[in-house]
Amino acid sequence: MTVAQTLGEALRFHRIVPEAEVESEIRRLLSLVGLRPEMAHRAPKAMSGGQNQRVGLARAMSVRPEMLVLDESVSALDVSIQAQVLNLLAELRASHGLTMIFIAHELSVVRHISHRVAVMYLGRIVETGTTDEIFDHPRHPYTQSLLAAVPRFGTAKRQRKAALQGDVPSPYAIPKGCRFQTRCPVVKDICRSTVPPSISLSPTQRVECHVAAGS
């Protein structure tokens, strides 16, 4: 399929515009994501990874959404292309009033794009907060370990101490109590038997942790 066919399929299926306006709407969508109109006649294999990501974003925008779910949307791109796509996402979010759920494992990308952050471990959200709260004042041991693992010059010794031990448990054999207790460096007896409650640390930050809660 060409880019025009890909975008046109979504427009026609959802009846976004009359048939007579499909071609002009395709041009508008390409312009919206920074692609030239002639790109409409290309196939994905004739385009770069960054261009294909923009086409995917154009297709998502074609249905005029209020929310986008972006799952590892820039993880396979070069750093310079990542920055371009992230800046485009920020522009679209501001200009169209979009809510974006951005799923990623690269913490620098998360900090750049997010207003709020949720940290998950074994399928459970263990800490939420504003971006500054999570990155500057993490309270859950897993969040702290993730941030400590980010390379920083002159901190190799401290990073080695913060490295997590053991393997992630199987999702088919979730540990009793806190899901993180088999790898937590500050685990207590209560962590092995009781699921931690969700504790409010501030109006915008919550954590599920017995230690952070003072148990």
The secondary structure of 152-189, three-state, reads CCCCHHHHHHHCCCCCCCCCCCCCCCCCCCCCCCCCCH
pLDDT of 153 above 80: no
- What pLDDT does residue 214 have? 73
| Cα Rg of the chain (Å, integer) | 22
Q: How many residues does the chain have?
A: 215
Query: What's the whole-number mean pLDDT along residues 61-80?
Result: 93
Residue 165 pLDDT class (50, 70, 90 cuts): confident
Q: What is the pTM of this model?
A: 0.85
CA dihedral 73, 75, 78, 79 (to 10 degrees): 90
Cα 211 to chain center, whole Å? 27
Residue 76 pLDDT class (50, 70, 90 cuts): confident
pLDDT of 206 above 80: yes
Q: Name the β-bridge partners of 101.
A: 69
Query: What's the whole-number mean pLDDT along residues 201-214?
Result: 93
- What pLDDT does residue 215 have? 53
